[in-house]
Amino acid sequence: MPQPTVLITGGAGFLGSHLCERFLAEGAEVICMDNLVTGDLRNVEHLFGEPRFHFQHQDVTEYIHVPGKLDYVLHFASPASPIDYLELPIQTLKVGSLGTHKALGLAHAKGARFLIASTSECYGDPLVHPQTEDYWGNVNPVGPRGVYDEAKRFAEAMTMGYHRYHGVQTRIVRIFNTYGPRMRLNDGRALPAFMGQALRGEDLTVFGDGSQTRSFCYVDDLIEGIHRLLHSDEVLPTNIGNPAEMTILEFAEKVIELTGSRSKITHKPLPQDDPKVRQPDISKARRVLGWEPTVKLDDGLKRTLDYFRGRVEEQAAK
């Protein structure tokens, strides 16, 4: 039986690179497409010697050409952190709209199954807690985060349009806060920021009073959930994340304890539209996919710490 061919856009990014590894381990032919705006070749360079791995340097908002057969298209290309939204607002909107259109068009032409990486940001600053897939969200379309939130909401609508009109087999995963090796040290999200600061002996910056909550899922658990969703029959959006909720202040204290740092905690004003709560309801994932996270936070953080320690040492040596 021939092995499947998988295209992963944003394949040199944090999540994309882990997906490349997962499909290669299963014997698939993997095409990793990335324009390296926020992706990093170091995330996939260990795969370059693998004959079934192919890297294509390309912007998915342009015309996409992939010769031969394609069985799956996983669209993970997008800036994905608050710093990125501020620095790359137009690119963020384009990859969610034009990029999704191009990737869906390719899937349609090839008869491939399509999976879009959507986000818990579709729920905005939620008025429903925890967040279920049938909640339509509370998003400020003209705020600084709107370029990402609305790009992903549009991408979901486009995906369902291709499913309903063209009959494309589509899947939508709404990803909640995820952490693990290969996150960018300077991407502005809580975990890289806290670990970087703690390892450098700097004070940890907590925005607001730190009472806002997040739910952190280790990357291996997330990849397993995405894999199960891709191979399921579920068409409508599905939350994949860890429902174990904690405050940002508690998370900062945990990082200080884990690193053995003498860092203190300082506070800065809360950014505009920063969600006050974030917790996935994963009842659907449990029921439909038989999935739930298995990696405990302490275990996942220890695995992630080794990676960030290397990155901080590398940065200090420059």
Any idea which residues carry the catalytic annotation? 148
Q: In the numeric block, which tokens belong to residue 247?
A: 């405050």
Position 262, amino acid: R
Give the residue carrying structure tokens 């996919």. Answer: 289
For the chain, count helices (H), then strands (E): 9, 13
Q: Per DSSP, what are the bridge partners of residue 178?
A: 217
Q: Which residues pair with 218 in a beta bridge?
A: 179
Burial class (CB in 10 A: 0-12, 13-18, 19+), 306: exposed
Query: What is the C-alpha end-to-end distance of the chain, expressed in Å?
Result: 49
State how far the Cα of 18 lies from the Cα of 37, in Å rounded to an integer.
18
Compute the distance between CA of residue 7 and CA of residue 58 in angstroms, rounded to an integer: 12
